[in-house]
Chain A
Amino acid sequence: MDIAIQAEGLRKRYGGKEIKNALNGVDLIVPAGTVFGLLGPNGAGKTTTVRILATLLTADEGEASVAGFDVRRQSKEVRRRIGLTGQYAAVDERLTGRENLRLIGTLYHLGKTATRARADELLELLDLTDAANRAVKTYSGGMRRRLDLAASLIAEPPVLFLDEPTTGLDLTSRLTLWDVIRTQVGRGVTVLLTTQYLEEADQLADRIAVIDDGAVVAEGTPDQLKDRVGDDRMRVTAAKVEDLTQLTKVLGRFTSDQPLVDEEQRTVSVPMTDGIGGIASVAAELAAAGIPVSDFQVSRPSMDEVFLSLTNKAATRPVNEGAAA
């Protein structure tokens, strides 16, 4: 199996007023032709990792190679083989969509005919043909992102870095982007995707690394990660938001872990213990406490729960301080 992206012990610290460790030793292995999801909260080190792999930053320590070339010593070879879509759409507002793509194609040295053909093809693929001759400043956020993705696809790179490609996008644009990403993977492209949307990682990624405080805290297929968090979970939704604290307290008696609270959904979840008997005792306790419940479910852990549980553990664990010293 070919390895498209490999990183070993990447460390990076930023200077400034207080020195902050952005990466505390990140290891990654991404087989060619797969989608690798890098999942983590803001400031966890996702973007720093991508920037190092895309040759924009140099790591203080550690080695990394992309498409078989060393990111530090053979950066130009790496750049020939990657496409990068960053967190904000890096397109020229004053040029039209078509001009943007042609400029990037020229800078990849694709040749005039190939650049033009490829630009038109991508405008079509990303549903931008009608807007192709308009200045990008008239585009919506979703259109800009699609153009940005088109720009990173223009040279048909074998490795694609997508740094939060759908953050802040509406559902339709997100689905279009997912579709394009899946098509690319179907052609054998390797994708490294960072996201805060767990659903996105679940949907697209073959393997996921959860990153927190500059280190990978868990890695595996989405199913493996869900297994790691444990068994089925009981998920109780309070009828009234005022009862949420009380509900958390009651459910807390059934687990040694912290119950996970989703305030927006008024839902509290805990791992299921004791099978059917557990469900019965929870129901009895809730009745005794007089908490009206609008929904009661038992199901596999969601990616959200996996994520919260993994990053919570990471936050309370002193391991990262130890690693930084």
Chain B
Amino acid sequence: MTEALTDSTALIGRHLRHLLRVPERLLSVTLMPVMYVVVFGFLFGSAMQVEGGNYREYIMAGIFAQVMLANLQTTAVGVVDDLRNGLVDRFRSLPMSRYAVLVGRTVSDLMLSGVAIVVMSVVGYLIGWRVHTGLPEMAAAFGMLLLLGLGASWLGALLGLSLRNVEAVSAVMSMVMMPLTFLSSAFIPLSGLPDWLRAIAVWNPLSMVVGALRELFGNPTSVTDTSFPSTHPIPVAVGLIVVMIAVAMPLAAHKYRTAAAR
């Protein structure tokens, strides 16, 4: 157990050193979310209407969640990189903990997500986003976001270990992310959608998570339907994220053990 901890810490150190060497990455992690907040909040915000609040408050939960989901790609690409240059082989020939390589990567990616959350919160505050509940709810919301980021990272590790190719990762990501983000309540209030489309969007997992975040932040939810995920967003979202981690983590670890480069 202590070995697993030392190994993971050493590898987290490795990734943080990478950040010092390639500071552009830190920039992309912080600047992209800021762009999202500004573009969606300001430009679209003036054209969008949300019942019971303003669009800038509505959009923040969507942006937070989307930035956490971006960990899928970050982690997948990192894992593919290690596979390709033979580092995974080296690590697998060492007497180290089997989880350490993936823990090191997912945890360091999560640390970056933490930085992104802080930056986004500050920019969100500047454009008028407020938390209308108490400290416990806010802490719960940020906790949920970090868990989402962690789950996305493990799913990304599984994706990277399975596809072993950066282009394939990008292709799968754009195919999944487009419908996932735009057919959800992340950026648009669902009340304006035709019934059949709304039925799909309501059951989109991202809508459930974003709905839970809005409820915890006390931001407008624009929920008009009475479906189970819309009326019980918090337990549904927590369940989803827990299942995601519980499935992705052992599968990725198994894939790693058998990931001999061919």
Residues of A near any B CB (own CB < 8 A): 14, 51, 54-57, 76, 79-80, 82, 84, 86-95, 99, 103-104, 106-109, 135, 151
User: B89 contacts A56, CB within 8 Å?
Assistant: yes
Contact residues in B for A80 (Cβ distance below 8 Å): 95
Of the candidates B89, B100, B262, which one forms a contact with A84 in the assembled complex, judged by CB atoms under 8 Å apart? B89
User: A88 contacts B86, CB within 8 Å?
Assistant: yes
Chain B 14-34 interface 0/1 with A at a Cβ cutoff of 8 Å (1 = within): 100110011000000000000
Contact residues in B for A87 (Cβ distance below 8 Å): 86
Of the candidates A92, A108, A135, which one forms a contact with B87 in the assembled complex, judged by CB atoms under 8 Å apart? A92
Of the candidates A51, A79, A93, A94, which one forms a contact with B94 in the assembled complex, judged by CB atoms under 8 Å apart? A79
Of the candidates B86, B95, B260, which one forms a contact with A89 in the assembled complex, judged by CB atoms under 8 Å apart? B86
Of the candidates B3, B21, B94, which one forms a contact with A104 in the assembled complex, judged by CB atoms under 8 Å apart? B94
Chain B 104-116 interface 0/1 with A at a Cβ cutoff of 8 Å (1 = within): 0000000000000
| Further pairs besides A90-B90, A108-B96: 5, Cβ < 8 Å | A55-B93, A56-B92, A76-B95, A103-B10, A151-B90
In the assembled complex, the Cα of A188 lies from the Cα of B106 at a distance in Å of: 40
- From DSSP, what is the main secondary structure of chain B's interface residues? helix
Most buried by B among A76, A92, A95: A92
Nearest-Cβ distance from residue B164 to partner chain A, whole angstroms: 13
Of the candidates A56, A99, A106, which one forms a contact with B17 in the assembled complex, judged by CB atoms under 8 Å apart? A99
User: B93 contacts A82, CB within 8 Å?
Assistant: yes
A-B contact count (CB 8 A): 70
Nearest-CB residue, chain B, relative to A76:
B95
User: B86 contacts A90, CB within 8 Å?
Assistant: yes
**How many interface residues does B have (CB within 8 Å)?**
25
User: B89 contacts A103, CB within 8 Å?
Assistant: no
Nearest-Cβ distance from residue A201 to partner chain B, whole angstroms: 23
Nearest-CB residue, chain B, relative to A151:
B90
B6 at the A interface (CB under 8 A): yes
User: A106 contacts B6, CB within 8 Å?
Assistant: yes
In the assembled complex, the Cα of A88 lies from the Cα of B22 at a distance in Å of: 24
In the assembled complex, the Cα of A104 lies from the Cα of B7 at a distance in Å of: 10
Nearest-Cβ distance from residue A64 to partner chain B, whole angstroms: 15
In the assembled complex, the Cα of A198 lies from the Cα of B95 at a distance in Å of: 33
Nearest-Cβ distance from residue A206 to partner chain B, whole angstroms: 24
User: B85 contacts A79, CB within 8 Å?
Assistant: no
Contact residues in A for B262 (Cβ distance below 8 Å): 14
User: B22 contacts A107, CB within 8 Å?
Assistant: no
Q: A51-B260, A57-B260, A94-B22 are in contact. Are A109 and B6 (CB under 8 A)?
A: yes
Most buried by A among B87, B91, B93, B96: B93
User: A56 contacts B260, CB within 8 Å?
Assistant: yes
In the assembled complex, the Cα of A151 lies from the Cα of B94 at a distance in Å of: 11
Chain B 61-105 interface 0/1 with A at a Cβ cutoff of 8 Å (1 = within): 000000000000000000000000111011111111000100000
Contact residues in A for B95 (Cβ distance below 8 Å): 76, 79-80, 108-109
